[in-house]
Structure 1
Amino acid sequence: MEILTGTIAKIFEYTVEPIGRQVGYLINYKSNLESLRSQLKNLDAVKDRMKHRVDEVERNGKGVETDVQNWRKEADGITQEAENILGNEGQAKTNCFSGVCPNLVSYHRLSWKSAKLAKEIELHAKKEFPSVSYDPPLGRDMCHALSKLHGL
């Protein structure tokens, strides 16, 4: 009896759960798109704050940390990808079989991509940086001028 129970549990684990997850993408289509829109809006706000910090750093003549520059490039790429997904929403609404039924494959694909990207955006927006800037190395002329000042 224990063998049968274990076997049924494994069958359930490897068949029913994955099928349920895939059906969930169809059921949660609208909420996944809304979540993506919401996360994208949040990421845009974080990008703006980071841009302001970087602009301030550059005005003060300091260098911008490499990880901050990389984060900004990745954020721009993620934003572009999210906008592409949201732009394809109308394409997913096209019907198959001459308008008889909705195109479930397109709905599923769009919902899956939206859910995946919304999670990625959430993680990306929560990224913290210990420091945005660094003091650039002193130039040769500056070192020479400082040594003269200290000599006085």
Structure 2
Amino acid sequence: MDIVISIASKIAESLVTPIGREFGYLIYYDTNMKDLKDELKQLFEMKDRVQESVKAAKRNGEVINYDVQSWQTSVDKLIQKVLHFEEEVSMKRRCLYRWNISRKATKITQDVLYLQKEGTFNNVAHPAPPPMIWSTFKEGFKDFKSRMTHVNRVTEVLKNEEVRMIGICGMGGCG
């Protein structure tokens, strides 16, 4: 008899938690919906802060980090998911739907909390690499004496510390 009672108590123990969770979705419907709205508000504020940092970095000519771009994409996808969920909430208001909606709200809230945790960035961008220096010549450079005299003159002028600006006129490659 003790064995049967012990087995029955183990079975009851393992069934109470899942059943309690499922009834919790019905009982805590309003709380789950409020929690979702509060966490979404915080996520939108975080998204705006990150977006402003990204805009400032782009204005400064910096390159946005891949993890920031990935996070922004994930947030945009979650926003679409939330918009679809809000349409579903406005259409379904019966008791059985409340359980389903509350369950979905809890799962979306978990997704929002995860994105909030991932959205704390030390840096949103890094300096862009310097532009490549390239020559306008398609083929080998031909060394003409007339060119070399001009190159030598420019080099001498650049060595002078009093000169702040020089101007070079003429078409590139003409001699």
* TM-score when normalising by structure 1: 0.79
- Residue 133 of structure 2 aligns with which residue? 141
Q: How many residues align?
A: 136
Aligned pairs for 1:1-152 (under 5 A) are 3-4=3-4, 6-93=6-93, 103-127=94-118, 128-141=120-133
Structure 1: which 4+ aligned runs deviate by more than 6 Å? none
Could you tell me which amino acid in structure 2 is paired with residue 71 of structure 1?
A: W
SS at match of 2:90: helix
Same amino acid, percent of matched pairs: 29
Matches of 1:6 and 1:50 in 2, distance apart?
56
Q: Which has the higher contact order (CA 8 A, sep 6+)?
A: 1
Matches of 1:129 and 1:19 in 2, distance apart?
39
* Structure 1 contact 33–86 (Cα < 8 Å) conserved: no
Structure 1 unmatched runs, 5+ = 94-102, 143-147
Matches of 2:90 and 2:125 in 1, distance apart?
43
Indicate the structure with greater helix content: 1
- Let me know the Cα RMSD of the aligned residues: 2.3
Matches of 1:129 and 1:38 in 2, distance apart?
21
Q: 1:10 to 1:57 in 2, by over 3 A?
A: same
Could you tell me which amino acid in structure 2 is paired with residue 55 of structure 1?
A: K
SS at match of 2:129: coil
Q: Rg bigger for which structure?
A: 2
* Structure 1 contact 25–111 (Cα < 8 Å) conserved: yes
Matches of 1:47 and 1:6 in 2, distance apart?
53
